[in-house]
Amino acid sequence: MDRQAALRLVHERVGSENLINHMRAAEAIMAALAERLGGDRERWALAGLLHDLDVVETADLMDVHGLRTVEWLRAEGLDDEEVLDAIRAHNPANGSSSQATMARALFAADPLTGLITAAALIRPEKKLEPVQLKSLKKRFKEPAFAKGARREDILTCEELGIPLEEFLAIGLDAMKNVSADLGL
């Protein structure tokens, strides 16, 4: 499945612009992580873009979130098991887990998008460009800030051999590179 087909699915299945922006942010971070970890940039980005495809339908059914996306993607002809595994495993509430590098990267990147977005939205200009790594690191240490951005999940970046500060920098730079697409 190419990016255009993936974007078509995202727009068909996801009505929320904020959720689409989250998925595009995850796409950007996953592409950057692929470069850092020696993965295939297009495949990793695809996992990031599609990982929450079913979240509107499964918002109250976290035990199937991710599983339904995998079903839909298989029906669309996507048979890349590494991408499907990452999508399935980004939500451990569905009973899935994976030690594959792509899956572990997506698990850590998913909540990072929320932390970075929140850091941009508290600024008067509501833009990513002025957000600095120093302030992002400070916000990371504040549990009340962006509560939904699970710090323990983000910290799993260290299991990938990426120190937290570098992981935050990779995510921030990746999202800055697509800030116009994100409306930030």
- Give the pLDDT confidence score for residue 84 in this predicted structure: 98
In one-letter notation, the amino acid at residue 113 is T
Chain mean position to CA 40: 16
The Cβ of residue 169 has, within 10 Å, a number of other Cβ atoms equal to 16
For 20-67, the pLDDT digits (tens) are 999 999 999 999 999 999 999 999 999 999 999 999 999 899 999 999
- Give the pLDDT confidence score for residue 123 in this predicted structure: 96
Going by pLDDT thresholds of 50, 70 and 90, the confidence category of residue 87 is: very high
CATH of domain 3-182: 1.10.3210
Which residue blocks in the chain are alpha helix, DSSP H? Answer: 3-13, 17-37, 41-50, 55-58, 67-75, 81-89, 101-121, 133-140, 151-154, 164-177, 179-182
- Give the pLDDT confidence score for residue 167 in this predicted structure: 98
Chain mean position to CA 156: 14
3-state DSSP assignment of residue 78 = coil
Give domain limits for the chain: 3-182
- Give the pLDDT confidence score for residue 30 in this predicted structure: 98
For 128-152, the pLDDT digits (tens) are 999 999 999 999 999 999 999 999 9
For 94-126, the pLDDT digits (tens) are 999 999 999 999 999 999 999 999 999 999 999
- Give the pLDDT confidence score for residue 89 in this predicted structure: 97
Contact (CB, 8 A) for 132 and 125: no
For 149-181, the pLDDT digits (tens) are 999 999 999 999 999 999 999 999 999 999 999
- Give the pLDDT confidence score for residue 100 in this predicted structure: 97
Handedness of CA 134, 183, 148, 25 (dihedral sign): negative
DSSP state for residue 158 in the 8-state scheme? G
